[in-house]
Every structure is written in C-alpha cells, then in structure tokens.
Amino acid sequence: MSDELNFLPSLTGSFAKPAAENPTVEMVEAAYRHHGLHWRYINTEVGPENLRDAVAGARAMNWAGFNCSIPNKVEVIQHIDGLGESASVIGAVNCVVRRGDQLIGENTDGKGFLKSLEEIVDPVGKKIVMFGAGGAARAIGVEVAFAGATNITIVNRSEERGAELVSLLNSKTSAEAVFAKWDGDYSVHEGVDVVINATSIGLYPDVEARLALNLDSLTSNMVVSDVIPNPPRTNLIKDAEARGCKVLDGLSMLVNQGITGIEYWTGEKVDGDVMRARLEELFGV
C-alpha cells in the first residue's frame, strides 16, 4: 500500500482535567501539518479516577505517546513502565513516550521553561525566586538548578509542600534552596535575577487574579516569567512590563516543551515559530 493510501495516523494526545482550555492540541497539530507528518493529537478529559483505563487504552491503540497535565502528572507514574532522569528527580511526568513496548515517563515542563529562559538570560550563577511548589515548580526548580542557578527561594503558602521542594533541590542538585512563607504580599529581595510564577494564579477563567506580590519590589534588571499560557498576557506579565522588567510568557514554555515532546514521539525537530504563530492567532496576541 502506498503512503498516500495509509489511513492510519500515528496517535498522540493528552490526558487532563479540565481539558477544554488547554491549547496544546492546536499547537502540536499545526506542527504535524506544517511538517507533513501523518500524526494526530487527541485532547481528552481524563482525571485520576480514569487514568489507569486511559493509559491501558493508549497501549491497546498503540499510541506513540501522550501528555499528562493537571491533575495526572504524579498519578500516571504507577501506570507506566519507567522514568527518564528529570522525571525521576522531579517525581512528576508530563510527557509519556513509547519506546519499544514500554511507556516511559519524561518531564518536558522544566526543559521547556529552561529553553525559553536561556533565550533571555543564562541561568548560571543566578538567584531565583519562584512562587508555588506544585508540579510545574518542581520541574522548573530541578531544571534551572541542573543548568547552574545557584540560589532558589521557594515562596509558597503551604509550608509542608514548600519545604518538600526545598529539600528535593538541596539533596538532588547543587543549588542552594530556601523556603519563604507566602503570607500577604511577598517582596522580592534586591539581587534577585529571575522571578517565576509557577502557580495557576491568573489562569483562565480567573484571568483577573493577581499574585500577592509587592510590585514595587520588582526592578528593571529582573526577568519576570509566568508559566500560564492562557491568557498569555497575565496581570503579572503586564505589571512587570510596566516596571521595565524583561518578561517571559507561558506561550514560550508551552512551545518549547512541545518541540521536545514531538521530538521524543516522532524523532523530528519541528519549527517552534509555526506553533507559536498558531497560539498567537488563537489568543489574538
């Protein structure tokens, strides 16, 4: 049978809950189309209660891989066959890849963020303040530490969760991590190079939400980053820009983790500009 008459695309997709506001499907399929890849990406709403069955279904249907988003990134580990290095240290998986007959968990969250950050500033020797201690924060903390950041302050409301991430960074990386209790408006200390929102504050539909942050403590020599892709221009991004900071929006991270994920699945290095253009079109950026 010729290639033209092959009606069986290779399948990839996503298991998340909620799923409707995640634009990854549009971004990935734009890359598949642009590069003429006979692949599809299927966005599905699956929570932890159905994740075992969903992974079994992906195996049965011979999916090449899938993304896991909130709230499945830790839960999925018990349903797959092994972990890559970053995913193992982070303790969370957002990208599963079929290798032979095994499903292996990788984590491209932090890698995507790191690629975006490196386009603006070299993380080596930098001091970082990060809000949040969940899956995205764990991934970003580990990758920026692996990349040479020297000091990481984890700002979080839950002391237990924050201390857990600090302990992970101090034991598994060469960075020095400390915990700061997030109580009222947090003030960023002088000498900090990069400020990161790794929480879901400002994510659609709660687009008016603002971080409890003393904006006067932001200075123009800081890079301020938000992991939220929807909307790309969160209040944090706008507020930081108004203070002369360099900013990094969540679309950059999404695109870069997409490039890494697609390469894991297909072996092809795709054009990130095509993916970003589709996202900007969708969000009217």
Domain co-membership, 129 together with 145: yes
- The per-residue pLDDT for range 91-108, each reduced to its tens digit, is 999 999 999 999 999 999
Domain co-membership, 179 together with 263: no
**Residue 283 pLDDT exceeds 80:** yes
Question: What tokens appear for 46 in the block?
Answer: 């699956």
Q: What is the CATH number of the domain that holds 62?
A: 3.40.50.10860
Please give the mean pLDDT across all residues of the chain: 96
Domain co-membership, 217 together with 257: no
Q: Which residues pair with 247 in a beta bridge?
A: 224
Collapse the DSSP code of 241 into the 3-class scheme (helix H, G, I; strand E, B; otherwise coil) and give the result: helix
Closest CA to 104 of 265, 269, 267, 270: 265
Pairing of strands 127-131, 176-181: unpaired
Domain co-membership, 172 together with 264: no
Radius of gyration of the chain (CA): 19
- The per-residue pLDDT for range 42-68, each reduced to its tens digit, is 999 999 999 999 999 999 999 999 999
**Residue 190 pLDDT exceeds 90:** yes
**Residue 1 pLDDT exceeds 60:** no
Closest CA to 217 of 184, 249, 250, 174: 184
Domain co-membership, 161 together with 260: no
- The per-residue pLDDT for range 212-270, each reduced to its tens digit, is 999 999 999 999 999 999 899 999 999 999 999 999 999 999 999 999 999 999 999 99
Residue 113 Cα to chain centre, angstroms: 7
Closest CA to 130 of 1, 250, 224, 4: 224
Would you state the pLDDT for residue 249?
A: 95
Would you state the pLDDT for residue 3?
A: 57
More confident residue, 79 or 229: 79
Domain co-membership, 130 together with 232: yes
Q: Which residues pair with 224 in a beta bridge?
A: 195, 247
**Residue 7 pLDDT exceeds 70:** yes
Domain co-membership, 180 together with 203: yes
Compute the distance between CA of residue 13 and CA of residue 1 in angstroms, rounded to an integer: 26
**Residue 72 pLDDT exceeds 90:** yes
Number of domains in the chain: 2
Which one from 73, 111, 115, 127 is the annotated catalytic residue? 73
For the chain, what percent of residues have pLDDT higher than 70?
99
Buried b / exposed e across 128-155, counting CB within 10 Å, b at 16+? Answer: bbbbbbbbbbbbbbbbbbbbebebbbbb
Cα–Cα distances in Å, from 161 out to 126, 166, 167?
23, 9, 10
Would you state the pLDDT for residue 2?
A: 53
Buried b / exposed e across 13-33, counting CB within 10 Å, b at 16+? Answer: bbbbbebeebbbbebbbbbbe
For the chain, what percent of residues have pLDDT higher than 90?
93
Give the other-Cβ count within 10 Å of 11's Cβ.
17
Domain co-membership, 130 together with 230: yes
**Is there a catalytic annotation at residue 126?**
no
Give the structural domain span for 277.
Answer: 3-107+252-283
Domain co-membership, 74 together with 180: no
pLDDT band at 135 (very low <50, low <70, confident <90, very high): confident
Would you state the pLDDT for residue 285?
A: 81
Please say whether the beta carbons of 56 and 46 come within 8 A: no
Dihedral sign computed on CA atoms, order 83, 89, 93, 94: negative
Would you state the pLDDT for residue 21?
A: 86
Please say whether the beta carbons of 249 and 276 come within 8 A: no
Compute the distance between CA of residue 47 and CA of residue 68 in angstroms, rounded to an integer: 10
Domain co-membership, 87 together with 56: yes
**Residue with tokens 């221009």, as numbered in its chain:** 233
Q: What is the CATH number of the domain that holds 220?
A: 3.40.50.720
Domain co-membership, 116 together with 230: yes
Domain co-membership, 83 together with 190: no
